[in-house]
Amino acid sequence: MGVLLLLPENAIISLLRNLELLELQLRSTMRGSLFKLGLFLSVLSLFSIPSQSAVSSIDLGSEWLKVAVVNLKPGQSPISIAINEMSKRKSSALVAFQSGTRLLGEEAAGIVARYPSKVYSNLREMVGKPFKHVKNFVDSMYLPFDIVEDYRGAVGIKTDDGTIYSVEELLAMILSYGMNLAEIHSKVPVKDAVISVPPYFGQAERRGLLQAAQLAGINALSLINEHSGAALQYGIDKDFSNGSRHVIFYDMGAGSTYAVLVYFSAYNAKEYGKTVSVNQFQVKDVRWDPDLGGQNMESRLVEYFADEFNKQVRNGVDVRNSPKAMAKLKKQVKRTKEILSANTMAPISVESFYDDRDFRSSITREKFEKLCNDLWDRALAPMKEVLRHSNLTVDEIYAVELIGGATRVPKLQAKLQEFLGRNEPDKHLDADEAIVLGSALHAANLSDGIKLNRKLGMVDGSSYGFLVELDGLDLLKDDTTRQLLVPRMKKLPIKMFRSFIHNKDFEVSLAYENEDLLPPGVTSPIFAQYSVSGVTDASEKYSSRNLSSPIKTNLHFSLSRSGIISLDQAAAVIEISEWVEVPKKNLTVENETNTSPNISVDAGAKNSSEENTDNVHLNANYAIAPNSTEEPSTSDLGTEKKLKKRTFRVKLKVVEKTVGTGMPLSKEVLAEAKGKLESLVKRDAERRRTAELKNSLEAYIYATKEKLETSEEFQKVASSDERKAFIEKLDEAQDWLYTDGEDATATEFQERLDLLKAIGDPIFFRYKELSARPAAMKLAQRYLDEQQQIVSDWENDKPWLPKDKVDEVVNDVQKFKSWLDEKEAEQNQASGFITPVLTSEEVYGKVSSLEDKVVSIKKISKPKPKIKKPIEKETDSSGDENKTNSAPEDKSSEDDKPAGDSDGPANSASTEGEVNPEPESYDEL
């Protein structure tokens, strides 16, 4: 199946013209229908491209954004990293607003040193967090954001124009930027994506990120824990059928650290009737430190160099009070830390650091490691906890894979090696891209349109355990009203239900199981609340009935693949027992003497307490004897009372009433946010269009002026006065461009460009024809010579061609040749400053028209030779025989011969000279 690309008309004309030119050049060596067929197929292939579908994965980190695309295009890797506009494989996870313009990714990174208060970073660590927690984080990182507290107690970021954006809105901008990279990379629309999250993300963070994806117009197939993405990438190309293994993935990124224990194994499954081995992995445990990462090391360097600069300047100066200076220092410190990973000493240089003072210094690796001395032991804590809780020793761990950019620090690697007792930790995965590539595998598995051949089963678990607790009027608190709903590391996804006995409306709370293990910034274990109503009404409605058991409420919960737990629905279950009148029937058998002696009938009917059941118990050997002449009869014996049990299920109303930072954005807020984002997208598109048109105008001015002033060829097609007037117009446009045009709109740039092209296009057309026309005439002349030879050869090679058609071609060739000579003479006499008398387009048109006629004649096939039928000779009136067509002698007796047809012709004769009539014909049966 293909899709048709609609190209502009001028592009199609240009393409066809070039193909005609190519055909003329090759005609002398490649003649015939095969060349024409190949040329047609080449053109067709340019317009027909197979339709493709693609899915994406997004690794959203504290500082960086990485995007992978799964796109099953022939001849390329099915999974690849999408590069950004700077040809980088990872992009800065930044949003900036400068002079009313929104900047994303690398554009935002370009202004962070000059306008630090307008560039927003570390947004992932702010989503779903209380305002106080984020405020402390922002201050510790010297981030000069203007943050406010929103109606949920969460964070809003206020821009210079007074607009307040929620963290979800800013994250939506970054996610949308990532999906745009995916579409540019794959060259097809991409809407489906899997987004990776750190394992310590709680319910508020996960729900906030999904709402950000919704605002970005992304169909989030799922969230995936970062460690599961890395485990997928690790196991996809390995075989575990010969032995299972435990692997620890240790990740230290910019803002967090975690260690996860994963068990890889294989199981047998049936596939197309064959037993195959299928690889799988299960996440056994994960432990983390959400406040430890590469940024902590950079902060130590920032503080060290800030103190050093303050000592140099003295006079009570504290560079920490200057947001711009601290932004410059932080930017240079990142480079210094990277240099120290490969060298024992690294310099630092900051131009115009503070008050026009430059700052230069250096630091040794030994000094850096000493500054971070307390961090190294802290970094081992997640690894130690995983081993302790799993009851495994270091020797039972097959491999320890390092991921995350901060794991490149030599001191950290040395500490890990020392703890593990190994010469070197395992580095089979790309520290930066393992998560996003593995997440792309998960996206392909969840997608309907893309399937990969390799399979790897994934059993991930919930990072937190969850409790359910009920509260309501007259509700007695006991073990049934507070239960463990999901134990920690319970597999994802799963559905559950719990039953409670209560006859009044109540409330449901969901909480984290362990108050000592809460997401960062969370102070209360309760994260979601629901009101369940309708129980009271149902109780009042059915209380007057004979209840066989207390009213019971069933609550249905689900733990999604994204790790989000929710109360989906609730129903009240009412069981009633009632005595009802039912027909009383009895089965009798008459004429028992006709029944076989070994047949017995138990005709006693019993009342049943089962719902809607009337049972007649018969002997298992009951049968009607073969000689029986009477049928059993059923007689109506009146009615009787039976105890009947009926069950009613009443759907209850469930309303979420979560408050605080855990509450999701309302539908109204989401709609308003979506409108703001769509407006920004339109403004961005207009800004890009304005920039493109401005660049086009600027490029046109400079290129045209250079050609008019320096090219001798332009002097042949434009008079000095015309060139001078045109240059004046170009200078005028150039002056406007750098004055009033600085703030011009896209429409104004387009108008200026159109005005200049209206003057320049005729000149450029004449300039193009200087070379295009001679080339066209040369090829046309060669074509005419070839056609004269072809027509001449037709007389010997194809004598069957109609003479009038051949003569028509001869006349057309001669007319074309005369027209070409006449126009060429006129053009030679004409001035180069006017519109050409003869154009290359006209020449190609004449050639194409003549070629069509020649091809149509060449297609006339040679007529098939006529087959002469034998001439039948009949006996003339004098009785002569046609001996050449005489039939074989009939040896049968005359009695056996069929009767002759008196009207049939005598077309055969016997040897005795008798004329035998033609035998009758019979239809074949």
Supply the pLDDT for residue 589.
Answer: 45
Three-state secondary structure call for residue 311: helix
Q: Which pLDDT tens digit goes with each residue over 137-151?
A: 999 999 998 999 999
Find the range with the poorest average confidence among 352-361, 597-606, 678-687.
597-606
- Say whether pLDDT at 840 is over 60: yes
Total Cβ atoms within 10 A of residue 776: 25
- Give the length of the chain: 925
- Give per-residue burial for 54-68: e unless 16+ CB within 10 Å, then b: bbbbbbbbbbbbbbb
The band of 422, judged by pLDDT with boundaries at 50, 70 and 90, is confident
pLDDT tens sequence across 457-511? 999 999 999 999 999 988 888 888 899 999 999 999 999 999 988 889 999 999 9
DSSP string, 881-912: --GGGPPPP--S-GGGSPPP-TTS---EE-TT
Q: What sign results for the dihedral spanned by CA atoms 875, 876, 881, 883?
A: negative
Determine the pLDDT at residue 40. Answer: 33
Cα 542 off chain centre by: 52
Paired with 507 in beta bridges are 471, 531
Q: What is the pLDDT of residues 255-284, one digit of tens each?
A: 999 999 999 999 988 888 888 889 999 999
Answer whether 406's CB lies under 8 Å from 254's CB: yes
What lies within 8 Å, CB to CB, of 748 at 6+ separation is 741
Residue 522 has pLDDT above 50, yes or no: yes
User: Residue 135 above 60 pLDDT?
Assistant: yes
Q: Which helix (H) or strand (E) holds 111?
A: none
Residues 6+ apart with CB under 8 A from 34: none
Q: Is the dihedral of CA 854, 856, 859, 860 positive or negative?
A: negative
Beta strands per DSSP E along 444-564? 457-459, 466-472, 482-486, 494-501, 506-512, 526-533, 552-559
Question: Which residues are CB-contacts of 882 (< 8 A; sequence separation ≥ 6)?
Answer: 872, 873, 874, 875, 907
SS3 763: helix
> Which of residues 788 and 371 earns the better pLDDT score?
371
Q: Which two tokens stand for residue 294?
A: 């590469």
C-alpha 922, offset from chain centre: 74
List Cβ neighbours of 716 (8 Å cut-off, separation of 6 or more): 770, 832
Prediction pTM value:
0.76
Q: What is the DSSP letter of 547?
A: B
Distance CA 765, CA 757 (A): 11
Mean pLDDT of 403-423: 93
- Binned at pLDDT 50, 70 and 90, residue 22 comes out as very low
DSSP per residue, 467-481:
EEEEEETTPPPSTTT
Cα–Cα distance measured from residue 8 to residue 14, given in angstroms and rounded to the nearest whole number: 10
Highest mean pLDDT among 43-57, 554-568, 618-632: 554-568
Cα–Cα distance measured from residue 439 to residue 226, given in angstroms and rounded to the nearest whole number: 8
pLDDT band at 924 (very low <50, low <70, confident <90, very high): very low
Q: Phi and psi of 521, rounded to 5°? A: 85, -10
Q: In whole angstroms, give the CA distance from residue 116 to residue 133.
A: 21
pLDDT tens-digit series, residues 322-353: 999 999 999 999 999 999 999 999 999 999 99
**Residue whose entry in the numeric block shows the structure tokens 């096939």:** 861
**pLDDT score of 367 more than 90:** yes
Q: Which residue has the higher pLDDT, 620 or 876?
A: 876
Between 770 and 265, the higher pLDDT residue: 265
The 3 state secondary structure assigned to 37-88 is HHHHHHHHHHHEEECCCEEEEEEECCCEEEEEEEECCCCCCCEEECCCCCCC
| Per-residue confidence (pLDDT) for residue 80, from 0 to 100 | 94
Environment class of residue 309 by beta-carbon count within 10 Å: exposed (0-12), middle (13-18) or buried (19+)? buried
Q: What is the pLDDT of residue 56?
A: 96
Q: In the predicted model, what is the mean pLDDT of residues 661-684?
A: 92
CA distance 113 to 117: 9
pLDDT of residue 380: 96
pLDDT of residue 757: 94
Residue-wise pLDDT for 580-594, tens only, equals 787 876 655 444 444
pLDDT at position 881 over 80: no
- 27 DSSP assignment: T
Q: How many Cβ atoms are within 10 Å of 378's Cβ, its own excluded? A: 14
Beta strands in 82-121 (DSSP E): 91-92, 95-98, 101-104, 119-120
- Identity at 130, one-letter amino acid code: P
Which pLDDT tens digit goes with each residue over 282-317? 999 999 999 999 999 999 999 999 999 999 988 888
Give the whole-angstrom CA distance, residue 104 versus residue 177: 7
| pLDDT computed for residue 621 by the predictor | 33
How many beta carbons lie within 10 A of that of residue 351, not counting itself? 11
Position 52 scores a pLDDT of: 63
**How far is it, in rounded angstroms, from Cα 423 to Cα 705?**
67
Contact, 559 vs 493, CB < 8 A?
yes
Which residue is listed with tokens 């004769």?
A: 909
Number of neighbours of residue 923 by Cβ within 10 angstroms: 4
pLDDT for the residue 339: 95
Q: Write out the H or E segment, with its range, that includes residue 658.
A: none
Three-state secondary structure along 396-426? HCCEEEEECHHHHCHHHHHHHHHHHCCCCCE
**Two structure tokens written together for 661:** 């930072």
